[in-house]
Homo-oligomer: A and B are copies of this chain.
Amino acid sequence: MINVAVFGAGRIGKIHAGNLVLQPGANLKYVSDVNVQAAQELATQHGAQVTDIDSALADPSIGAVLIASSTDTHAELILRAAAAGKAIFCEKPVDLTLERAKACASAVAAAGVTCMIGFQRRFDPTFDALKTRLAAGEIGDPEMLIVTSRDPGAPPVSYIKSSGGIFKDMLIHDFDIFRWILDDEAVSISATGSCLTDPAIADAGDIDCAAVTIRSRRGRLCQINTSRRAAYGYDQRFEVLGSKGMLQAGNHKPTEVVVSSGLSVSGDKPEHFFLERYRAAYAREIAHFFDAVVNKVAVRTTIQDGVKALELAEAATLSWRENRTIELAK
């Protein structure tokens, strides 16, 4: 039995807690949140106790922590949990600054603890199956990767202001997809963007659509397009052109109903947003983390992956701001 503490009882914290308690051998012991009522509700639901972070980390019976609190707390909690020798699952991003993220990675390495970053898309059944088939050589060598990553609607401008901008907030997932799918690193990145949906986003110093091109070390090309507003829902697709064919990951739909009317033949829109689209991914992600902790095996999405994705996000931000291609250190 491994005792676990969850830091953060918001939307994503609830999901992780719910998935954790399904793992045989896992015991959700503590829930902590600055919102005490939220913490209490989540604790009650799973028979856990509310406590503060200090106490949770000081409890030697705690083997692992799930960090699902606000982004600005991630780095500090990783550092403290690593110092306390706990296995760590932390939501992306590690931090909004590359420097602090690297410091966390160093601390984790020094402490020798398991640390997994929540790039849940790698655990999506469709994306994961695509990766497996690509790795098995089904389409030969990959040459191009085209990623479409669009949200159904923009978050409040207040959120955008502290989000680190579209590249760190939204595209960090896509940068991880690039590295994971191509099993390659970027040598250059070029980004441009616009604010077309809401002037308040521009006033907040951000953009709402972006187009990114990455060259990899092996000369492969990756294009990412994103928007904060897709009227038809959460659009999460990518395709890989290889020397022998193409693999595409399509959107998931709530049902397989199709209607033929006097106007058209219509199916469902994509799953509305990340909680629906990545439900299975979240479950598989926590199962993987817990399995890694129990069996002391490597996690698939390391803190180093978190650092690398952040590097790309910073470079993309710079490219957009200075309107030039950014070369990345090898």
A residues engaging B (CB < 8 A)?
125-126, 129-130, 133, 138-141, 143-144, 146, 148, 150, 188, 190, 192-197, 209-211, 213, 215, 219-223, 225, 227, 229-233, 235, 241-252, 254-270, 323-325
Contacts and interface: CB of A to CB of B under 8 A. Distances in A.
A120 to B, nearest CB: 16
A230 B221 contact: no
Work out how many copies of this chain go into the complex.
Answer: 4
A174 to B, nearest CB: 13
A190 B326 CA distance: 13
A194 B210 contact: no
A144 to B, nearest CB: 6
B193 A325 contact: no
Which one of A130, A148, A225, A256 has the highest number of Cβ atoms from chain B below 10 Å of its Cβ? Answer: A256
Contact of A266 (B225, B264, B324): B264
Given A211-B144, A267-B265, A219 B247 contact: no
A19 to B, nearest CB: 13
Nearest to A254: B125
A227 B241 contact: yes
Given A231-B243, A267-B264, A194 B219 contact: yes
